[in-house]
Amino acid sequence: MDPLMARYILTNARIITPFRILDGGNVYVEDGKIVHVGETDMADAQVIDAGGCYLSPGFIDLHVHGGGGADFMDGTPEAFLTIAETHARYGTTALVPTTLTAETDDLLATLDAYTAARRVNTRGAAFLGMHLEGPYFALSQRGAQDPRYIRNPDPAEYQRILDYSPDIVRWSAAPELPGALAFGRCLKERGVLAALAHTDAVYDEVVAAVESGYSLATHFYSAMSGVMRRNAFRYAGVIESVYLLDEIDVEVIADGVHLPAPLLKLIYKVKGIDRIALITDAMRAAGMPPGESILGSEKNGLRVIVEDGVAKLPDRTSFAGSVATANRLVRTFRDLAAVPLHEAVRAASLTPARIMGIDTRKGSIAVGKDADLVLFDENIDVRWTMVEGRVVFGGRAHGA
Ligand SMILES: [Zn+2]
């Protein structure tokens, strides 16, 4: 690499830290890392004038299916790269590619594509490893997941998939299914994050799930049980259980469509900013104009309609994934939930990094961390994105 291009001084920015916004001061980048925040000397560096924009840690999206017209289930390296580049334009600097319930062969093809794409991904958001969403779900909470593929956890099947790919970092399942607790323990042993999803569990089942290693609620509120009655008696569902159990982290699709303002405020109030990860859960139409699209793979996905800023099943009975981008989540969370900007950013950066166990190297503007940086304006419109010291969006056409 040209040594001149490996050093940057970002100046004239409002720097967003996990705790506050610093006016003045510079951020120094060398060889892909943040080496200083404040004032120092650095020779042979490229100076980037932020023009008074916010300088934020890059957004970390733990749950995303697609964007820019591509879906990870297309199963090609090209699809992976298109999605990584599309979301980088909206401030995402690291993401966890997410699958849909599918035939095992299609799943394995997607895992192969991940391996190939990761080696050549230099112009988009970094890949943090794969998230398998399904197929071990409650049929009654399937949402837009294809019911043909939903089943109970099968040790022979999941061991084979986990043996096949070392790149799986998280897996979402319904903990009340037969075999789901053993599945959670297996994931925990292998260092894979287990998440509660598409579930009809009651409180005791959620407690058992936490005891077996589940620690995250996938797209909180969507496709999960709330308080219910059985033979006149009331039971706490997954939603109440997640509020009650402090140790459970939550994913929030803060696109302003999936969850209205009062629920965003309630989540913020009860769970607190350090337990909230803003996610896009975006499908292929993110970053594309409204109209018809496909949920899942091009080969055998479901036809959906994108309107009102969200994807819907054709009969409009259910949402079928979001078309959000990470900057929209931060804007919406700030505006609808009345969250200070630096906290909204934290829910899109440091908290997801902590959930994935990578907060020592990503998630905030701090010395020694990866130079994952974004410049945006008051409306959270992204001007410039840097991933691990490489400018992947914006070039010099920002700020000034
Ligand atoms: Zn999803």
Is there a binding annotation on residue 258? no
Is there a binding annotation on residue 78? no
Domains identified in the chain, total number: 2
pLDDT of residue 396: 58
Q: Tens digits of per-residue pLDDT, 80-104?
A: 999 999 999 999 999 999 999 888 9
Residues 221 and 291 in one domain: yes
Q: Tens digits of per-residue pLDDT, 179-200?
A: 999 999 999 999 999 999 999 9
User: Are the beta carbons of 197 and 133 closer than 8 angstroms?
Assistant: yes
Task: Give the rounded percent of residues in the chain with a pLDDT score beyond 70.
Answer: 98
Rounded CA-CA distance 144/139 in Å is 11
How far does residue 114's CA lie from ligand 1's centre (Å)?
17
Catalytic residue among 281, 359, 370, 372: 281
Domain holding 262, by residue range, is 59-355
How far does residue 147's CA lie from ligand 1's centre (Å)?
15
Average pLDDT, the chain: 95
pLDDT at 318 over 90: no
> For the residues 248-260, what does the mean pLDDT come to?
97
pLDDT of residue 399: 41
pLDDT at 2 over 60: no
Q: Tens digits of per-residue pLDDT, 131-171?
A: 999 999 999 998 878 889 999 999 999 999 999 999 999 99
Rounded CA-CA distance 53/169 in Å is 34
Say if pTM beats, i.e. exceeds, 0.75: yes
pLDDT of residue 263: 98
pLDDT at 248 over 60: yes
Q: How confident is the model at residue 300 (pLDDT cuts 50, 70, 90)?
A: confident
Residues 146 and 290 in one domain: yes
How far does residue 211's CA lie from ligand 1's centre (Å)?
24
How far does residue 3's CA lie from ligand 1's centre (Å)?
41
Residues 41 and 63 in one domain: no
pLDDT of residue 4: 47
Residues 47 and 67 in one domain: no
How far does residue 279's CA lie from ligand 1's centre (Å)?
9
Is there a binding annotation on residue 198? yes
How far does residue 172's CA lie from ligand 1's centre (Å)?
9
Q: Tens digits of per-residue pLDDT, 369-400?
A: 999 999 999 999 999 999 999 999 997 544 43
pLDDT of residue 143: 80
pLDDT at 349 over 60: yes
Q: How confident is the model at residue 5 (pLDDT cuts 50, 70, 90)?
A: low
Tell me how crowded residue 87 is: count the other CB atoms within 10 A of its CB: 29
Least confident of 2-6, 243-247, 302-306, 350-354: 2-6
pLDDT at 13 over 80: yes
Which residues, 6 or more positions from 86, have their beta carbon under 8 angstroms from its beta carbon?
67, 68, 70, 124, 286, 287
CATH number at residue 35: 2.30.40.10
Give domain status of residue 275, yes or no. yes
CATH number at residue 66: 3.20.20.140
> For the residues 41-59, what does the mean pLDDT come to?
96
Annotation says 281 is catalytic = yes
pLDDT of residue 347: 98
Tally of residues, the chain = 400
Query: Tokens 């929209």 belong to which residue?
Result: 328
Residues 214 and 308 in one domain: yes
Give domain status of residue 1, yes or no. no
pLDDT of residue 397: 44
User: Are the beta carbons of 326 and 64 closer than 8 angstroms?
Assistant: no
pLDDT of residue 400: 37
Give domain status of residue 196, yes or no. yes
Name all contacts of 218-221 with Cβ < 8 Å and 24+ positions apart: 218/63, 218/133, 218/172, 218/251, 219/63, 219/251, 219/252, 219/253, 219/258, 219/279, 219/281, 220/250, 220/251, 220/252, 220/267, 221/258, 221/259, 221/263
Residues 251 and 275 in one domain: yes
Structure tokens at 39: 């004032």
- CB atoms within 5 A of ion ligand 1 belong to 133, 281
Rounded CA-CA distance 372/390 in Å is 9
